[in-house]
Structure 1
């Protein structure tokens, strides 16, 4: 298993902060938070460039990183904004996730505050943490991938936002209508899942199943603990599947998982792997970090230490302590551990 690298300080000789502002993220405008954030950054003496153009911001950040004067690239938005940044920024560009979206799963897990002054302080004294990323059919994700019912909901909500619903802003309430509609119509097609350590290892098959999730970080929805041991720095991805489809069964899985009792279910499977393949005999959607990803088949692999994120010192200290604990009792190379209790 790849050992996680200890967190590092931001480059002391870099003074340029690039800010990508997603004005459509979250339930309401984040313009005032942006203005407060910019004032706080400038008080530290850093230069700031702001853009609402994703391509422009990431291209400029990549160039300035190569020149050596980029301190970090800030993404003011939600998990969708973070998803775009990790896919468009060059490896090594420090990313700071300023949570302003609907769920902000990645920023929440990293301990990043929504307070503009607190986020500005991270630019001054934050630490760089190297996180793994998942690659799903070549597209990176930071938190999780899933397919089936929840991906169909994400796809429906996304279409409504792009059509101008609620001015393009999102909220948890925007999921209620699509969920109710799909509860009546979704067919819950069978999924086949295989996983392995790498290209040379023997594959293990799971299936047929109705629900399939792959996690890099242990965050989902409102905090449903499907894979609470997912680490983000261990060079592996955590897989969770449930065998039976249907709305009633889905509600049951949700309730049991909220109580962290799902590992004991005979139709739940938990495993860790570096490569995962998910297929279906009919078209099935998948989603990445809350954004539509496409349709199966899906090939997923882990990219160790692919993303550099800026985190609070307390988060860095926690991860460093976790790394030392892991090194004291190492996982054997080539081992894929099944979390299902005996």
Structure 2
């Protein structure tokens, strides 16, 4: 059976019962902007005679998708992840990157594709951006308006996105350790409910005053890179606040793009922070750019790492890539 989204000119909703829509909203997500678009999308789909359900529990989402792929009666399933980056990551981790269905040999791309194909069946995820940053949706140009989401459901194209595992935890956009991860760690401890960009102001100031940029040991694809003070790896060229830290990262090349800030003094660390904010960090001679499929970072002192803007834990961290692990439905590109 061919996936109906492989044919870009076809309207997926013209054939009765060919596509089922599950709108997934995380119960932990805040109020967010544009939440009224979720019931509006549900109404639009119902008016078209499409089977649609709103789901807000991970176990329920997993059960419904497994039922669909097992009995084959519902054809293809599109999961609309209505929320921020965390909601999208949760949906993708549940459907494609959990212990039960993620590839067992990340270093083998053919193994990854085979495992994902068996586990995911006829399923794709569509991001409906209702969060603070919405990094992935912004990258692909997906808007939160119900009409735009419906257009992507009907005519969007499939993009097989790489993913990463950091100490066994999945991520889609980035994994970093050092200064910015310390900001995320403090934000994690302070967070109460929905956050905005202004919520990061106090954590940023506190980290600027207290962080000492301890030395890190970096290894990429088995090669010792040496000492540094800050490591950032990207699957996509996006970061919070609209910052462009690694503009060349591609989400479907099977590689992570690594930015390495070498010098560990406080003065150099603050210079790196200023360089990132002004977009000039890549011009510095003590900033390296690498690519790889496996990354290991360690330190003798406690250093935080973050995944897609969420606190992940403390070093050491071991990162591997999962090529083409997540089938995304994104807006069609005009040719």
Pairwise TM-score range, normalised by the shorter structure: 0.7 to 0.9
The answer to which of 49-58 and 76-85 deviates more is 49-58
Summarize deviations over 1:63-108 as a string: whole Å, max 9, x none: 3234332421111111111121221103433001100111000111
Q: Quick one: which of 300, 305, 316 aligns to 1:286?
A: 305
Summarize deviations over 1:31-63 as a string: whole Å, max 9, x none: 412112212222332111112212322332233
Q: TM-score, normalising length from structure 2? A: 0.82
- Alignment check: 8 A CA contact 1:191 1:278 kept: yes
1:275 is displaced (CA, Å) by: 0.9
The residue number in structure 1 matching 2:317 is 298
How far apart in 1 are the matches of 2:269 and 2:81?
34
Summarize deviations over 1:226-259 as a string: whole Å, max 9, x none: 2111111111110001123466544532443456
Secondary structure at 1:62's aligned position in 2?
Answer: helix
The answer to which of 150-159 and 107-116 deviates more is 150-159
The residue number in structure 2 matching 1:334 is none
Secondary structure at 1:222's aligned position in 2?
Answer: helix
Asked if residue 85 in structure 1 is aligned to residue 91 in structure 2, the reply is: yes
How far apart in 2 are the matches of 1:308 and 1:143?
15
How far apart in 2 are the matches of 1:236 and 1:85?
22
Q: Cα gap change, 1:64/1:94 in structure 2, threshold over 3 Å: closer, same or farther?
A: same
The residue number in structure 1 matching 2:200 is 175
How far apart in 2 are the matches of 1:62 and 1:9?
24
The residue number in structure 2 matching 1:16 is 20
How far apart in 1 are the matches of 2:209 and 2:31?
27
Secondary structure at 2:240's aligned position in 1?
Answer: coil
How far apart in 2 are the matches of 1:239 and 1:306?
20
Structure 2: gaps (5+ residues): 97-115
How far apart in 2 are the matches of 1:125 and 1:77?
21
1:183 is displaced (CA, Å) by: 1.8
Q: Cα gap change, 1:29/1:174 in structure 2, threshold over 3 Å: closer, same or farther?
A: same
The answer to which of 67-76 and 134-143 deviates more is 67-76
**Runs of 4+ more than 6 Å apart:** none
Q: Quick one: which of 266, 284, 293 aligns to 1:265?
A: 284
RMSD: 2.3
How far apart in 1 are the matches of 2:158 and 2:198?
34
Secondary structure at 2:133's aligned position in 1?
Answer: coil
Summarize deviations over 1:186-222 as a string: whole Å, max 9, x none: 23221111101xxxxxx32223211110101111122
Q: TM-score, normalising length from structure 1? A: 0.80
Secondary structure at 1:299's aligned position in 2?
Answer: strand
Secondary structure at 1:192's aligned position in 2?
Answer: strand
1:265 is displaced (CA, Å) by: 1.5
Secondary structure at 1:238's aligned position in 2?
Answer: strand
- Alignment check: 8 A CA contact 2:303 2:315 kept: yes
Q: Cα gap change, 1:179/1:263 in structure 2, threshold over 3 Å: closer, same or farther?
A: closer
How far apart in 1 are the matches of 2:212 and 2:59?
38
How far apart in 2 are the matches of 1:305 and 1:242?
29
The residue number in structure 2 matching 1:330 is none
The answer to which of 280-289 and 58-67 deviates more is 58-67
Summarize deviations over 1:96-139 as a string: whole Å, max 9, x none: 11001110001111111121210122111111111111111122
The residue number in structure 2 matching 1:65 is 69
Asked if residue 195 in structure 1 is aligned to residue 193 in structure 2, the reply is: no
Q: Quick one: which of 34, 38, 45 aligns to 1:41?
A: 45
